[in-house]
Amino acid sequence: MPDPLLVGAITDARQRKLGHGDGSRPETRMSLGKIGFAVAILAGTAGVALHVPAGEGETALVVHVGNDPADLRQFEQWLGCPVDGVAVHTGQADWADWSGSVGFQLNRWRGTGRRLYWTIPLIPLGASLAEAGRGRYAGRYARAAREIVAGTPGEAIIPIRTGWEFNADYWPWASRGREQDYIAAFRRFVDAFRTVSPRFRFEWVPNIGGSDDPAASYPGDAFVDVIGIDAYYDTRWLPADPRLAWAYNVERPYGFRWLEQFADARGKPTAYAEWGVMSAGAGAYVQSAANWFDHTRPLYQGYWNTDSTFPGKLSGGALESAGAAFRAAFGSCREARA
């Protein structure tokens, strides 16, 4: 039986599969029983010590603002500090979009002085996951890798996410029932990029929750450098009380605590690659996220500061109370090495 918290994703997926962004995950509203469970979590997890994983150190602040560098400048002015990186997404409409959008993003962000955190589809619409696993698209992968390396001077690490949110059903690489195809395709992607340069760092990213164990689609330690998660605080489906919503996301099956334990068992750093809030009253959720990041030390956290596919933009004034909490938590000028 599907996780009731993923029911309703189909409508959103139909919109999102045609674009480049990752937005909300519509979920059915929590039952009173689940809310009571979350209240118990709030009391039961206070002060619980977690082992600091391999990402120990300053957590990098990454932001997704869409495709306009002007929006990055606006966000940094609002925050009062430069960010450590920009999350960029390439296209998936077809192979022409998949390939052409790499150069588009390189040109778009050239000169900003910010590290690009790439999200690249494992395959575009119309392509075959099984064929990807058999190596049919290795040449395309390698050409994209060469273009990225050529457009990224120096020797710095180049972060790459691919095949993200595979445990949901709205992407062409959804892995349910074809986990081995997904694993093989992910490995082919990594191998192709590594033939071009050792600078690439690869992140494996399930969506939070679900009924299936993401571990069934884990490509293996040799092909994964970072283990991340995507999770949004959507008040349409989670409690209006931000403290309850945060506590539930920590302790739910395949939630934040699962992420830290799964990664720690493999000696991998974690990342909270996509997260966002959509209400002005989410300040307590933002502060809980900051406390969690201070405690667990993920390699980076990526905030979704745009209203594209998820209304999470904090720097525009509509979510001022939550934005104030974000600035208070993350507005200190420091440099992370992620």
Mean pLDDT over residues 269-283, rounded? 97
**Quick one: pLDDT at residue 320?**
87
Per CATH, the number for 4-44+54-330 is: 3.20.20.80
Alpha-helix residue ranges (DSSP H) falling in 80-124: 95-109
CA pair distance 146, 192, nearest whole angstrom: 10
Work out the pLDDT band at 337, boundaries 50, 70, 90. Answer: low
Rounded (10°) CA dihedral 88, 94, 96, 102:
10
Phi/psi zone of residue 165: left (φ > 0), alpha (ψ -120 to 50 degrees), beta? left
Q: What is the pTM of this model?
A: 0.85
Look at residue 5 in the predicted model and tell me its pLDDT: 31
Cα(2)–Cα(6) distance, rounded to whole angstroms?
Answer: 7
Sequence letter at residue 208 = I
Active-site residue, selected from the candidate residues 203, 251, 260, 274: 274
**Long-range CB contact pairs, 40-48, < 8 A, 24+:** 41/247, 41/248, 41/250, 41/251, 42/243, 42/244, 42/247, 45/247, 45/250, 45/251
Q: Can you give the length of the chain in residues?
A: 338
Q: Specify the higher pLDDT residue, 21 or 270.
A: 270
Catalytic residue check, 165: yes
Please report, rounded to a whole number, the percentage of residues in the chain having pLDDT higher than 70: 82
Give mean pLDDT, residues 40-58. Answer: 45
Average pLDDT (125-133) is 98
Looking only at the bridges linking them, the beta strands covering 226-233 and 85-89 are unpaired
Q: Does 274 participate in catalysis according to the annotation? A: yes
Tokens of 313: 């933009």
Q: By three-state DSSP, how is residue 92 classified? A: coil
Per-residue pLDDT reduced to its tens digit, 141-178: 999 999 999 999 999 999 999 999 999 999 999 999 99
CB atoms within 10 A of CB 334: 11
**Catalytic hit among 27, 165, 203, 260:** 165
Q: How many CB atoms lie within 10 A of CB 152?
A: 18
Checking if the pLDDT of 77 tops 50, the result is: yes
Average pLDDT over residues 262-276: 98
Q: Is the pLDDT assigned to residue 100 strictly greater than 80?
A: yes
Beta strands in 176-320 (DSSP E): 200-204, 226-233, 270-277, 300-304
Q: Is 211 exposed, middle or buried (0-12, 13-18, 19+ CB in 10 A)?
A: middle
Q: Which residues contact 44 (CB under 8 A, 6 or more apart)?
A: none
Confidence (pLDDT) at 54 = 40
* Residues 243-269: b if buried by 16+ CB within 10 A, e if exposed: bbbbbbbbbbebbbbbbbebbbeeebb
Enumerate the domain spans of the chain.
Answer: 4-44+54-330
* Cα 109 to Cα 72: distance, rounded to the nearest angstrom: 10
Least confident of 29-38, 63-72, 307-316: 29-38
Report the percent of the chain where pLDDT is more than 90: 79
